[in-house]
């Protein structure tokens, strides 16, 4: 069955949607992502939807569900690369994704995730492959 | 319509004869009647008016003599084309629809007078003639009004289009800071276009902050506020921050009275304040480079 890959990068998970979303795929992604977050103990999820040209209310709700699920599992979620047309559609559908962080592109999204999880740098139980951050935690918002 | 055509057909020949025989006398009387009404405007010269009137009488005479069918039928194309030209040019000159239609209707009095003379106190003939002439002139007058309205509508829609194109410039204030100065009433159509061009520019420039300046928006009602909120939400979804600026005191009061919820939206009184905030958010600050006497640097003025 078709699946959307979930990549691990340090303490973050990266999901890049490169195909047309359909409902089954969205549900599978939700389940897979929740499983992976628990499995890896990731602290952040980056959802790249820059290739998504068409959204409907279901996909919109899926995005906000993914974010809510991740938050419950203690992982920050940033949705990046929403196209103008998609943004307008979501707003017209009344889905303004409250509580979901957004960023313009992957780079800014990663920066946002790092900043949001910078306080975890000092924690002892981090994996050895964690991205290095400056020990100065004063930049945290 | 069929009845009208028949009625005109039966006796339009007589009307045409009257128009031909007394044309110069009729012209004088008609022009006099018209200038009585049009004198208020003065944007059309007496010579021009006379030339137009003369042309109309001769066209009308030709059409009535040779083409007995109704005004909307074949053979009247010249008359209709002439009236179309006339009314669209008058619409542009700023005449009212009433004044434009008067061009045709004012022909009635002088024409009826001459018809009466031609009828030679035969009441039946006179009644028929006047009825036919009335039908003919009424139809032509209404046609004039139709064309007038059509050309006005074209004018309005063209101006609307111009306005739409003029009203949505997205300007770059600084690296990563865009501004969208909104001018005029915000309807769904305009907001949509403005939103699209703003979002597109955010993608192109990779901007972090967008300032929505509504200094030029005269009134804000619930619908307008909803449009603004939609734009703000869309900008947020794109991953940029949106600041609304240029809210005038009355508008601020209206927003509160209407109970519009601007919670979570950053609002600033002036564009300068919004720009300062935007600079701060992108990790910059405004400092004075020299002594206060000579503010030469652009950052200084900001």
Over residues B62-108, the pLDDT tens digits come to: 887 776 666 777 778 888 888 888 888 887 777 888 888 888 888 88
The mean pLDDT value for A59-67 works out to 86
Whether residues A104 and B234 touch (CB distance < 8 A) is answered with no
From CA B249, how far away is CA B158, in angstroms rounded? 34
**Mean pLDDT to the nearest integer, B277-296:** 80
B230 and chain A in contact, CB less than 8 A: yes
Number of Cβ within 10 Å of residue A89's Cβ equals 20
pLDDT tens track for B200-243: 999 999 999 999 999 888 888 888 888 888 899 999 999 899 99
Token pair listed for B270: 């002036």
pLDDT tier at B300, thresholds 50, 70, 90: low
Q: Is the pLDDT of residue A70 over 80?
A: yes
Nearest by CB to residue A96, choosing from B196, B233, B240, is B233
Q: Are strands B266-267 and B241-245 parallel, antiparallel or unpaired?
A: parallel
Q: Is there a contact between A104 and B206 if contact means CB atoms under 8 Å apart?
A: yes
Query: Residues B192, B198, B204, B206: is their CA dihedral positive or negative?
Result: negative
Q: Is B208 on the interface with A (CB under 8 A)?
A: yes
Distance CA A103, CA A114 (A): 13
Q: Which residue of chain A comes nearest to B235, CA vs CA?
A: A87
What average pLDDT does the segment B258-280 reach? 88
Contact A84 B200 (CB under 8 A): yes
How much of chain A exceeds pLDDT 70, in percent? 84
Q: With an 8 Å Cβ cutoff, are A88 and B240 in contact?
A: no
What value of ipTM does the predicted structure carry?
0.71
Distance CA B108, CA B267 (A): 64
**In order of start, what are the domains of chain B with their CATH numbers?**
2-162 (1.10.490.130), 171-285 (3.30.750.24)
Quote the Cα angle for B99-B101-B104, to 5°.
120
B114 with B18: CB under 8 angstroms?
yes
* CA–CA distance, B90 with A116 (Å, rounded to integer): 68
Out of A84, A91, A103, closest to residue B203 by CB = A84
Task: List A residues 41-100 in contact with B (Cβ-Cβ < 8 A).
Answer: 79-84, 86-88, 90-92, 96-97
Q: How far is B192 from chain A (nearest CA, A)?
A: 9
Of the options 2.40.50.140, 3.30.750.24, 3.40.50.2300, 3.20.20.100, the CATH number for the domain spanning A6-122: 3.30.750.24
Site from B201, B239, B261 to mutate, A interface, most A CB atoms within 10 angstroms: B239
Measured between beta carbons, the chain B residues lying within 8 angstroms of A84 are 196, 199-200, 202-203, 234, 238
How many Å apart are CA B177 and CA B281, to the nearest integer? 10
Chain A CB contacts of B199 under 8 Å are 84, 87-88
Q: Are B129 and B121 in contact (CB under 8 A)?
A: no
Q: What is the mean pLDDT of residues B115-129?
A: 82
Among all residues of chain A, which has the CA nearest to that of B208? A104
Please tell me the predicted confidence (pLDDT) of residue B253: 87
The domain limits of chain A are 6-122
């Amino acid at each position: 069955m078709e699946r959307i890959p979930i990549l691990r990068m340090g303490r973050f998970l990266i999901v890049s949607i490169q195909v047309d979303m359909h409902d089954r795929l969205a549900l599978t992604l939700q389940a897979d992502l929740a499983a992976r977050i628990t499995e890896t103990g990731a602290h952040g999820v980056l959802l790249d939807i820059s290739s998504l040209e068409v959204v409907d209310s279901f996909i919109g709700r899926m995005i906000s569900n993914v974010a809510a699920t991740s938050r419950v599992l203690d992982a920050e979620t940033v949705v990046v690369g929403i196209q103008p047309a998609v943004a307008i559609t979501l707003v017209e559908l009344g889905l303004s994704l409250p509580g979901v962080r957004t960023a313009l592109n992957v780079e800014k999204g990663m920066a946002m995730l790092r900043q949001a999880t910078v306080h975890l740098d000092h924690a002892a139980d981090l994996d050895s492959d964690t991205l290095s951050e400056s020990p100065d935690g004063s930049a945290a918002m | 319509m069929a009845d009208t055509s028949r009625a005109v057909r039966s006796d339009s020949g007589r009307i045409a004869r009257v128009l031909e025989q007394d044309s110069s006398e009729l012209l004088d009387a008609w022009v006099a009647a018209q200038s009585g009404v049009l004198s208020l405007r003065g944007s059309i010269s007496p010579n021009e008016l006379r030339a137009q009137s003369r042309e109309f009488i001769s066209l009308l005479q030709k059409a009535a003599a040779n083409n007995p069918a109704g005004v909307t039928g074949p053979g009247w194309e010249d008359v209709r084309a002439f009236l179309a030209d006339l009314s669209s040019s008058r619409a542009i000159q700023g005449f009212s629809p009433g004044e434009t239609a008067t061009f045709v209707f004012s022909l009635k009095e002088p024409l009826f007078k001459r018809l009466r003379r031609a009828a030679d106190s035969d009441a039946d003939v006179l009644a028929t003639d006047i009825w036919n002439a009335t039908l003919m002139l009424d139809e032509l007058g209404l046609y004039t009004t139709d064309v007038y309205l059509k050309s006005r509508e074209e004018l309005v829609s063209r101006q609307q289009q111009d306005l739409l194109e003029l009203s949505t410039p997205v300007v770059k204030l600084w690296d990563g800071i865009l501004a969208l100065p909104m001018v005029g009433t915000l309807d769904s159509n305009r907001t949509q276009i403005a939103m699209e061009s703003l979002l597109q520019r955010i993608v192109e420039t990779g901007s972090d902050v967008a300032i929505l300046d509504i200094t030029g928006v005269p009134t804000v009602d619930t619908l307008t506020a909803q449009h603004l909120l939609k734009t703000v939400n869309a900008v947020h979804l794109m991953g940029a921050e949106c600041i609304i600026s240029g809210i005038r005191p009355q508008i601020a009061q209206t927003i509160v009275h209407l109970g519009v919820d601007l919670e979570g939206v950053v609002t600033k009184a002036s564009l300068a304040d919004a720009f300062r905030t935007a600079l701060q958010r992108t990790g910059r600050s405004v400092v004075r480079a020299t002594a206060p006497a000579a503010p030469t640097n652009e950052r200084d003025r900001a």
